[in-house]
Each structure stands twice: as C-alpha cells, then as structure tokens.
Amino acid sequence: MIVIPAIDIMNGRCVRLVQGRFDQCMTYDADPLDTARSFEAAGITHLHLVDLDGARRGRPANLHILETLAKETTLRIDFGGGIRSIPAIRQALEAGAAQVNLGTFLFSGPEVPRRCIEAFGADALIAAVDIDHGQAAIKGWQQSSGLDAATVIENLLENGWRYFSITDISRDGTLKGPDPDLYKPLAAKYASARFIGGGGVASIEHVMMLKSCGLYAAITGKALFEGRISLEDLAKLNTQQ
C-alpha cells in the first residue's frame, strides 16, 4: 500500500477542514511548496493536492500552485477540486498532475464517465467517491448525489474506471480513525479496483489498519501537520512495499 500525504489549499495556504465544512477550517502556517519539498526530502513519492477554492467555486482556482509543485519537485501529484469539465481535466494534466480526481462532474450526465475514460484513459483519472451516510456527496461535499457508493462504483467500473478515492466524510479531519467496515467490503467485492482510503487517519496504526483492509493507497493530512505521524515513518512504509 502506498501512503500519500495531502495538502489542501485555500487562499494560497495549507489548511484542513473538519468533515468538509468550510466554517471549520484550520489554517497552518505552511507554504505549499515548502511543504511539498519537505515531503520529497523525507522520501515521499506521492502527493494528494486538493484545491478547496476550486471545489467551492466549481472551477480550478489553484492550477498555478499545482504547476509550481510539479515543476519544483519530483512528487507524483493527484489533483482535485472544482474539476467539472473535460477542458478542466486537460488543464490540470497540462499543469503537471499525474492523475486528476473527479467527483461532481461524474454525476453531471450518464455519458460523462465513459467520455472521460475515452479522452484521457483510466490511469490518468481517479473517481472521488466521497461518502456521507452511505451516499456519494457532490459539489465540495455540500450536497448528496442521492446514490449509494456501491451503485456509483459499479457503474464506473462498467465504464472502464480503475482508481477510486473513498473518503468517509463523517471522519475526515476528525482524527478519530478510519472505519474498516467501510473499506474491507469494497476491497473484497471489487477486486479489479484500486481503492485509495482516507478520512480520520491519526496514527501509524490507522495507516496499518487501512493496509489490512486491502487498499491500494491511503491518504493522511491533518495528522502530519499536527505532528501525530512523521514523514519518516510514512516514507519507511512506502519503501516496504
């Protein structure tokens, strides 16, 4: 399992929300480039970069930060937030993203998932299935799609999708730990999918628990910024793959 640190961007700074709520935002005195460089220096190879400004506005707002991080580090960056059109996907890839996370856009029409795969291929895309009370959330986690996660995943698999980021919104940013009962059944049922788990990670033990669920990768953010998990420990886990 790959362990991926997260940087969430708002107003040019590193922040973390609690359960996706913009009114519960913790801003860290950290520059995104300095933070990414510290990840790289510790031996980290991947980065999850979230454009919270873009998620709120419905269009990317921090592509310049993505471009800077892609040029100034060797990190393999997956980028998301406000990507709601084919041109926006292309812009993110051209700015340096190795993969692009799509959430709301995938629910905008029945033909959209297939069109995305045909245009960019499965390896360049990640379906962000963010779960709130069993249903997939959209529009920066502010609305429900009305569809349960299993239905969404099965439809995307049928359309050629391979990578899925599964976030438990109720635990995101809370440091309460992930819910194995969410991830184990998914990994067992959909063996062809590559699941990336996150939400609530607060310790190395939580990371190891996600690994035991059979996930492809795990994401952690707040725990790193608050010193609960060290970059060195994450890097060691990655070298043990």
Confidence of residue 19 (pLDDT cuts 50, 70, 90): very low
With vertex at residue 121, the alpha carbon angle to CA 116 and CA 122, rounded to the nearest 5 degrees, is: 95
Higher per-residue confidence, 173 vs 126: 126
Average pLDDT, the chain: 87
pLDDT tens digit sequence for 180-199: 888 999 999 999 999 999 88
pLDDT tens digit sequence for 71-95: 999 999 999 999 999 999 999 999 9
pLDDT tens digit sequence for 48-61: 999 999 988 999 99
Q: Looking at the predicted structure, is the pLDDT value of residue 96 above 60?
A: yes
**Active-site residue flag, 8:** yes
- 8, 78, 168, 172: which is the annotated catalytic residue? 8
Confidence of residue 169 (pLDDT cuts 50, 70, 90): confident
pLDDT tens digit sequence for 109-159: 999 999 999 999 999 999 998 887 777 776 655 666 667 888 899 999 999
Domain boundaries, the chain: 2-239
- 53, 130, 132, 168: which is the annotated catalytic residue? 130
- In the prediction, which pLDDT does 60 show? 95
Cα–Cα distance, 106 to 127 (Å, whole number): 8
- The amino acid present at 219, given as its one-letter code, is I
Higher per-residue confidence, 102 vs 131: 102
For residues 15-38, average pLDDT: 70
Cα–Cα distance, 183 to 168 (Å, whole number): 10
Strands (E), the chain: 2-10, 13-18, 21-28, 46-51, 76-80, 99-102, 125-132, 135-138, 143-148, 163-168, 194-198, 217-220
Residue 75 tokens read as 């990190």
- The amino acid present at 212, given as its one-letter code, is S
Cα–Cα distance, 61 to 67 (Å, whole number): 12
For residues 214-241, average pLDDT: 83
Q: Looking at the predicted structure, is the pLDDT value of residue 63 above 70?
A: yes
Confidence of residue 235 (pLDDT cuts 50, 70, 90): confident
Contact indicator for 92, 63 with CB cutoff of 8 Å: yes
Q: Looking at the predicted structure, is the pLDDT value of residue 5 above 60?
A: yes
CATH of 2-239, picked from 3.30.470.10, 3.40.50.150, 3.40.640.10, 3.20.20.70, is: 3.20.20.70
- In the prediction, which pLDDT does 232 show? 85
- In the prediction, which pLDDT does 29 show? 61
